[in-house]
Amino acid sequence: MAVYAIGDVQGCFRELQFLLDKLQFDPSADQLWFTGDLVNRGPRSLETLRFVRSLGEAAVTVLGNHDLHLLAVAHELSRIKPQDTFGDVLGAFDREELLAWLRRRPLLHHGEGFYLIHAGLPPQWCISEAVQYAAEVAACLQGEDYRELLEHMYGDQPDLWSDSLQGWPRLRFITNCLTRLRYCETNGRVEFQQKGPPGSQPPHLLPWFAVPGRRSAGANIVFGHWSTLGFYRERGVYCVDTGCLWGGELTALRLGEIPQRISVPSPPGGYQKPTPANA
Ligand SMILES: [Mn+2]
């Protein structure tokens, strides 16, 4: 049995099939972990959702910011943006089943000695706290109040964790870290505007995983969301978003004592041109 963590697919269904062929993926024996953002910006969100759902227990996916945005738009709690490409999902005959399935995905998954998230963790959280906080958001999404969560999740505040945070500000902070975080200050104040590679950010910001004293250090963490970082592996932290959508590659990491990278290319030029609006 092999477990593969796969980076942000974002509707790149064709590349996903190429990658699975290359892995010789066997759904009866192997398991796929997806870093989230199965949908949006790429060409085939609907087929990607249907396929991953059809894998049943052979696939695990955590929610990303684009997945949550699709849910919010579908429930008329947010407006579709010009650069959104999930209209195929919104118009599908099976949209309700697909959306109900997507809404019930976790924000963090762990097993095999690895933790899977879409984006990042603030430095104040140890890994067991991250598991607990992710579960708070997942419980809300799976419960009666999920529409309110989707409505209240937008916004960049609060930007600093406190154990005393409650209600929507607490759930918004947790959701923002797990699905959008790239950079924060050394004191853990999070920032959501910078989207470039490390080195491009203002000097008061650090990649979330590089903050001195980060309490989740020591845990093996696999994440996506950061195509400008690209493939990264340092001290148990693995980024597997290699920008398939933008003309890069779709990447799998075979989990194990020494994780191995397997990638397939996307068409030259990709499906989108990077602009400040659609990163
Ligand atoms: Mn993302």
Digit-coded pLDDT (tens) for 36-52: 999 999 999 999 999 99
Q: Residue 107 in contact with residue 62, Cβ under 8 Å?
A: yes
How far is ligand 1, taken at its centre, from the CA of residue 259, in Å?
Answer: 23
pLDDT score recorded for residue 276: 54
How far is ligand 1, taken at its centre, from the CA of residue 256, in Å?
Answer: 25
DSSP SS3 for 170: helix
Residue with tokens 């910006």: 41
Phi, psi of 223 (to 5 degrees): -145, 175
- Spatial separation of the C-alpha atoms in residues 87 and 76, rounded to whole Å: 13
Query: pLDDT of the chain along its 279 residues, tens only?
Result: 999 999 999 999 999 999 999 999 999 999 999 999 999 999 999 999 999 999 999 999 999 999 999 999 999 999 999 999 999 999 999 999 999 999 999 999 999 999 999 999 999 999 999 999 999 999 999 999 999 999 999 999 999 999 999 999 999 999 999 999 999 999 999 999 999 999 999 999 999 999 999 999 999 999 999 999 999 999 999 999 999 999 999 999 999 999 999 999 998 778 876 665 555
Instruction: Look up residue 253 and give its two tokens.
Output: 């990491």
Closest CA to 11 of 88, 99, 82, 93: 88
pLDDT score recorded for residue 275: 62
What lies within 8 Å, CB to CB, of 217 at 6+ separation is: 235, 236
Surrounding ion ligand 1 within 5 Å at CB are 37, 64-65, 225
DSSP E strand stretches across 46-89: 59-61
How far is ligand 1, taken at its centre, from the CA of residue 101, in Å?
Answer: 19
- Spatial separation of the C-alpha atoms in residues 188 and 111, rounded to whole Å: 27
How far is ligand 1, taken at its centre, from the CA of residue 165, in Å?
Answer: 24
| Paired strand residues for 200 | none
pLDDT score recorded for residue 271: 83
pLDDT score recorded for residue 268: 78
Instruction: Look up residue 222 and give its two tokens.
Output: 């696999």
Burial per residue of 126-165, b for 16 or more beta-carbon CB atoms within 10 angstroms, e otherwise: ebebbbebbeebbebbeeeebeebbebbeeeeebebeeeb
How far is ligand 1, taken at its centre, from the CA of residue 35, in Å?
Answer: 9
Cis ω for the linkage preceding 158 (within 30 of 0):
yes
- Spatial separation of the C-alpha atoms in residues 194 and 98, rounded to whole Å: 32
CATH, domain range 3-265: 3.60.21.10
What lies within 8 Å, CB to CB, of 231 at 6+ separation is: 239, 240, 242, 251, 261, 263
